[in-house]
Structure 1
Amino acid sequence: MRKIFKKINDYGVLVMFSHTIFSLSFALISMLLAGEGKLKPMVIFWILVAFMGARTGANALNRVIDAEIDARNPRTATRQLPQGLMNKKEILIFVAICFGIMVFAAWKLNTICLILSPIALFLMIIYSYTKRFTWMCHLVLGVTSAAAPVGAWLAVTGKISLIPLVMGAANTLWVAGFDIIYGAQDYDFDTKNGIHSIPARFGVENALKISSVFHILAVIFLFIVGVLSPELGIIYYIGLSINIVLFIIQHKMISADNLKNVKIASYSINQVISIVFLLSGLIDCLI
């Protein structure tokens, strides 16, 4: 039993399970807005299954694809694959199972989700390679994350609409923005090893400015989501106001000369932002 729990913990660490909230919050709010209070339990179930399969498989695959890069980077050399604590074959089998579950869940939802599932798979696979040839890798990650709210809407309605596209734009810019902050700490390694990123391409100071612009645009898109959605009201806007303050704190606590709080700024604060967004949206949708 102890070995089973250890293996579960190993995979939780591998796929950064605690970061699930980043896209889950957008998926759930999109699902609720699409359902207009009339969601079927099995639709909710299969949306969650599809989300977890996609998200878990994508993160595990990322670790395999980046194993050699991680081994060279002092910051990531202690991860499980570089340390030999897990092997690639085992993880790739796990990835195949996760992606298979995602496609099966898409089939159970509706035809359009099944037809579009290869696009989602492509994004989840290609993202990990983009840092090898383009500094726009952060935006590719954002677009991949944005598949969650767009996919959830399609799962409920079977058709696309302006609201999930605007929410997807917000999700894209929000994720890309904090990924730039996270990537700033690897500036020296990336520039020396030919890894592409916005910090490596434009310098850390300019990268942080770009991140700020992305987050300003994300807030604007989230405001538009509120305007377009009759279900969202004062509580949603209170949550958005709280998140604006959190965005400001996030960008005030780091600078090109001071990156010691980069993990708090890029991940910890954004986990709180995700929760605030989820709770404020849930309350407005459900009351």
Structure 2
Amino acid sequence: MAGRYARLVKIEHSVFALPFAYVGLFLAAGGWPGLGKFFLLTVAMVAVRSYSMAMNRLADLRFDRENPRTKRRELVTGEVGVPGAALFTAGCAALFVAACAGLNTLCLALSPVVLVWAGFYSLTKRFTWMCHFILGSVLGLSPVAGWLAYEPAFSVRAVLFGLGVTFWTAGFDILYACQDVEFDRQHGLKSVPARFGVGAALAFSSLAHVNAVIFYALAGWAAGLSWFYFLFFAASAGLLLVEHLILSENDMSRVNMAFFTINGVVAAGLGLGVLLDIFV
């Protein structure tokens, strides 16, 4: 049963946000933050991401039933029932709040705001093509959350990393949305590809990733990181370039590789760069 719910929320996609939460945590601590903080932050991040994804699956169920690309999703096939998914969503929200309570009072106070914002994203494709940037802002909270988990005070360094994550996520989500451009248009759903076309969407995504690279560089500079970080930063920037070179308006066949494989490596690489800079 656990496997069905893990597939429902694509638990493996936690690789996108979790490394950046650790970036914020380890930068705030200036080293190892302690097992308690590390464990509670991990629980909180996995719980809120699972909550957000489950909310998205529930909100989009009527569209997923009609979209050929999503007809094998667990809620559509009945592998996971709607009542079970709703209970799972509520459980993830409760677990997130409990983990935040274990971290500090500021994290606890902000936890309802995070839940509302993370859930709100699922509705935005109904009314704005900026939905990709709203999703980006949800993941962009990751390094800020990691910092606050250790030090309950906002930091420019964490915010700069958060802005990098925001634009990076928006960029690859725009690419992913290119798969559904015709379906979205037919069903009145908003996205950059549906509004402007695939060619313009590729340009939007490229611009978003240029902004991401700039913010990641500024974040490394503001945090006083050394060549260890910037070596991984350069490799990640190169991978983002590759991501755009392998896709074109006339050939989006490798969009899944660009979405998961390349961006998973980018997230892990930047996180590893920060950790090596701190500990080596």
TM range (shorter): over 0.9
The one-letter code sitting in structure 2 at the alignment partner of 1:39 is P
Residue of structure 2 aligned with 1:271, choices 264, 271, 274: 264
How far 1:73 sits from its partner (Å)? 0.6
Within 5 Å, which residues of 2 pair with 1:126-275? 126-230=120-224, 232-275=225-268
Moved more, 53-62 or 164-173: 53-62
| Structure 1 match to 2:58 | 64
The one-letter code sitting in structure 1 at the alignment partner of 2:258 is A
Give a deviation string over 1:31-73, Cα, whole Å, max 9, x none.
Answer: 1001112523211221111111111111122111111111111
The one-letter code sitting in structure 1 at the alignment partner of 2:63 is I
How far 1:278 sits from its partner (Å)? 1.7
How far 1:148 sits from its partner (Å)? 1.4
1:286 aligns with 2:279: yes
| Structure 2 match to 1:22 | 16
**DSSP 3-state at the match of 1:186:** helix
Identity %: 37
Q: TM-score, normalised by structure 2?
A: 0.97
Q: In 1, distance between residues paired with 2:252 and 2:17? A: 25
How far 1:164 sits from its partner (Å)? 1.0
**DSSP 3-state at the match of 2:143:** helix
Q: In 1, distance between residues paired with 2:185 and 2:54? A: 25
Within 5 Å, which residues of 2 pair with 1:6-21? 7-21=1-15
The one-letter code sitting in structure 1 at the alignment partner of 2:247 is I
1:122 aligns with 2:116: yes
**DSSP 3-state at the match of 1:39:** coil
How many residue pairs align between the two structures?
A: 280
Q: In 1, distance between residues paired with 2:38 and 2:238? A: 32
Q: In 2, distance between residues paired with 1:275 and 1:39? A: 19
The one-letter code sitting in structure 2 at the alignment partner of 1:248 is L
**DSSP 3-state at the match of 1:75:** helix
In structure 1, the gaps of 5 or more residues are: 1-6
**DSSP 3-state at the match of 2:33:** coil
Give a deviation string over 1:167-189, Cα, whole Å, max 9, x none.
Answer: 11001000010000000111111
Q: TM-score, normalised by structure 1?
A: 0.95
| Structure 2 match to 1:4 | none
The one-letter code sitting in structure 1 at the alignment partner of 2:22 is L
| Structure 2 match to 1:3 | none
Give a deviation string over 1:55-101, Cα, whole Å, max 9, x none.
Answer: 11111221111111111111111111111111111011111111101
Q: In 2, distance between residues paired with 1:46 and 1:95? A: 19
Which structure 1 residue ranges, 4+ long, deviate > 3 Å from structure 2?
none
Residue of structure 2 aligned with 1:37, choices 31, 42, 57: 31
Q: In 2, distance between residues paired with 1:199 and 1:88? A: 30
The one-letter code sitting in structure 2 at the alignment partner of 1:24 is L
Q: In 2, distance between residues paired with 1:117 and 1:281? A: 26
Asked if 2 retains the 8 angstrom alpha-carbon contact of 1:181 and 1:262, the reply is: yes
Q: In 2, distance between residues paired with 1:162 and 1:268? A: 30
1:78 aligns with 2:66: no
| Structure 1 match to 2:105 | 111
* CA 11–248 in structure 1, closer or farther in 2 if over 3 Å, else same: same
Q: In 1, distance between residues paired with 2:31 and 2:239? A: 30
**DSSP 3-state at the match of 1:194:** coil
Q: In 2, distance between residues paired with 1:60 and 1:134? A: 21
Q: In 2, distance between residues paired with 1:212 and 1:109? A: 37
